[in-house]
Structure 1
């Protein structure tokens, strides 16, 4: 099968960990099919129009067309955009950029991750070429907040022959909020690379990172954005500090909250927080190994790979019962606390730090590799192709 992947959530120059679960899936798919990735990136006229023309919800980086991604045939495309102003048209602009390279590759199936604008553009390009469309939702692209993106996501889900979601919860959201056909939904949870994420000696990991060997380390891994509950995490850490002077927090990642977090940490001497920035998978695994627990106090999630990887490293987790998190975390491997509640989060962290955990038992919970994810994904694409060849719905 010739499979064209369309997604902006893919590694780019300066952000090599972007879209890591999709990258892992594509690498494994490339062993099973002839795969090419088209990564459409919105281009903002920052230099011509000033800083106001750059998106503020994430750290914008322009794509480098020459950037290579190991194990993947990827081509980066750009299309013009303005924050908020062009949002209703970004799907059309994205689709226009896809037409020519899609014809050149001549795929059997188009698979697009990220519903708007990526999958909307892929829908238009696939329809023009007479090809079946499969779409993959990651979480926040289904739980969209703005009315424009939500309205333009609906036709994508109705046009797709198959809808791939990373959790059963997201499948229910697609049916409830978009009237998607349940028969076309396939839940394909993320995998985990056991060659990277596995139990390691905590003392050795702390020594390698130069961390205090006797401290209680709570590690967060992800984007530095408010929706991840980072303000609540610092509030909880400040509340625990008088009783737990050895408590340390590590925020591993980058994002638009960096300056705010720096300011908060500088202003509160009780907070002992380390921010090493974005890290590659090997380094993330070392931070997890160095931790006493990993936390993810998000407001919303799909199927957070960071929790799967933490457990694979033999570390318990404290998270919130949102999205697909309860499909990953139960009382045997962590604690779930209400979102947006720093008091409950502080209590959950305290309980988890005081409890004795069986590292080996935690690590045995997940053994699903990316080859299994790729096989399930290819099977869904084959279903879509067979249905397409059988004729109209």
Structure 2
């Protein structure tokens, strides 16, 4: 370690192989995890914990090292072609990525990194090797899990591969600490991966309350070009089956059929870009909107900066989060911080994120969703109360609280005995392999 004081973490090697914290959330594979990595790193640095974020280089224009702010470096590692690699291709580049990390460490003072914190299973595989070679603890955050995604996958979504399941099980077994976004995710780790409950810590993601905060709805609508008297239903996120933006379109069509007068006022905003399998097999939401006879009501908005995103959220009557599964649901918390009424599926971490300050819907039946949205639109007093509760609830999710909790997890990892080394037979085989239904 770089400090003689037990439990003190001075520098962390944070690993995010498949997506850069500098990428624009809402497109490709960039999403809530990108925000989590960058924002937690910045808050940790302000607490005196320097963070080097290792991510794959995806462009010749990427500088080898980018200083985000004092104490936070993004290190771009060459591993495979800069462009044209899907996330599914990246397991074949983990060796090259790990070699790049080893080279960085070789040019640093001995004991440069006190701890490795990996995000997502691909990073966990690399982080496992780095932590073993540097003889430091491994802290891992899953973000999503193959076995959970397979249980809740949307129609049209491919099964997560067996290789990912095995890789995740190996990382779970090897990690000194596992960070879960919610209590529900912690239970899933224990249930589906037989994680040691004593090594699972719950740390809620945060929200930047300086960016996401209430504001004047009329001004927000002028800024995004939505009429003052419009009914604005908003979806924010990657356009993929897992996020279920089609549910909002079908629900909007149901609302128009119920009340034809809405056609003159309804605006359905879809803010995000294609991701995952949807890049190669687009969801064709524009065609769906035409089939539903609401194409004239739908606005497709490309991923945008956070200030503009917050403006859209302030302008909305309802922000819909109809995902089939979410480890947390950062969009929901960001929307609530802006005072938006959130209607979300009761799955994964969304009940934790939304709580009693929004509306939770069972399943994805468009008629049920239309009922939930209609109940908000038809009751301004209730909508106002939910908005007030949403803002109050969001204040508990600041990134400073996340960083404080992560620092405590790091301290615990540094002051307890290390887990098994990389040559441990059980770790290498990736057992347990059974999936609890």
The TM-score range, normalised by the shorter chain, is 0.7 to 0.9
Moved more, 104-113 or 332-341: 332-341
Matched, 1:23 2:23: no
Moved more, 378-387 or 335-344: 335-344
Moved more, 69-78 or 105-114: 69-78
How many residues are matched?
374
| Aligned CA-pair RMSD | 2.7
CA contact (8 A) 1:317 1:334 kept: yes
Map residues 1-393 of structure 1 onto 2, 5 A cutoff.
1-8=10-17, 9-12=19-22, 18=31, 19-41=34-56, 64-65=62-63, 68=66, 70-71=68-69, 72-80=72-80, 89-105=92-108, 106-114=112-120, 116-140=121-145, 143-144=148-149, 145-242=160-257, 243=259, 244-245=262-263, 246-256=265-275, 257=278, 260-266=284-290, 268-271=292-295, 272-330=297-355, 332-356=356-380, 357=383, 358=385, 359-368=387-396, 369-388=398-417
Distance 1:376 1:142, change over 3 A: farther
Q: For residue 290 of structure 1, report the CA deviation from its aligned partner.
A: 0.3
Paired residue secondary structure (1:79):
coil
Distance 1:205 1:236, change over 3 A: same
Moved more, 264-273 or 365-374: 264-273
Distance 1:62 1:275, change over 3 A: farther
Q: For residue 122 of structure 1, report the CA deviation from its aligned partner.
A: 1.0
CA contact (8 A) 2:240 2:283 kept: no
Distance 1:181 1:128, change over 3 A: same
RCO greater where, 1 or 2, for CA within 8 Å and sep 6 or more?
Answer: 2
CA contact (8 A) 2:21 2:37 kept: no
CA contact (8 A) 1:7 1:37 kept: no
Distance 1:35 1:221, change over 3 A: same
* Structure 2: gaps (5+ residues): 1-9, 150-159, 425-437
Paired residue secondary structure (1:203):
helix
In the alignment, the residues of structure 2 paired with residue 85 and residue 372 of structure 1 have an alpha-carbon distance, to the nearest angstrom, of: 34
Q: For residue 136 of structure 1, report the CA deviation from its aligned partner.
A: 1.2
In the alignment, the residues of structure 2 paired with residue 291 and residue 336 of structure 1 have an alpha-carbon distance, to the nearest angstrom, of: 18
Q: For residue 195 of structure 1, report the CA deviation from its aligned partner.
A: 1.4
In the alignment, the residues of structure 2 paired with residue 138 and residue 13 of structure 1 have an alpha-carbon distance, to the nearest angstrom, of: 17
Q: For residue 309 of structure 1, report the CA deviation from its aligned partner.
A: 1.4
Distance 1:41 1:132, change over 3 A: same
In the alignment, the residues of structure 2 paired with residue 128 and residue 240 of structure 1 have an alpha-carbon distance, to the nearest angstrom, of: 58
TM-score norm. by structure 1 comes to: 0.87
Q: For residue 217 of structure 1, report the CA deviation from its aligned partner.
A: 0.5
* Structure 1: gaps (5+ residues): 44-60
CA contact (8 A) 1:113 1:135 kept: yes
In the alignment, the residues of structure 1 paired with residue 184 and residue 419 of structure 2 have an alpha-carbon distance, to the nearest angstrom, of: 30
In the alignment, the residues of structure 2 paired with residue 177 and residue 127 of structure 1 have an alpha-carbon distance, to the nearest angstrom, of: 25
Q: For residue 247 of structure 1, report the CA deviation from its aligned partner.
A: 2.0
In the alignment, the residues of structure 2 paired with residue 7 and residue 321 of structure 1 have an alpha-carbon distance, to the nearest angstrom, of: 28
Q: For residue 267 of structure 1, report the CA deviation from its aligned partner.
A: 5.1
Deviations 1:218-267 (A, max 9, x none): 11111111111112221111121231322211111111456712333355
In the alignment, the residues of structure 2 paired with residue 285 and residue 338 of structure 1 have an alpha-carbon distance, to the nearest angstrom, of: 27
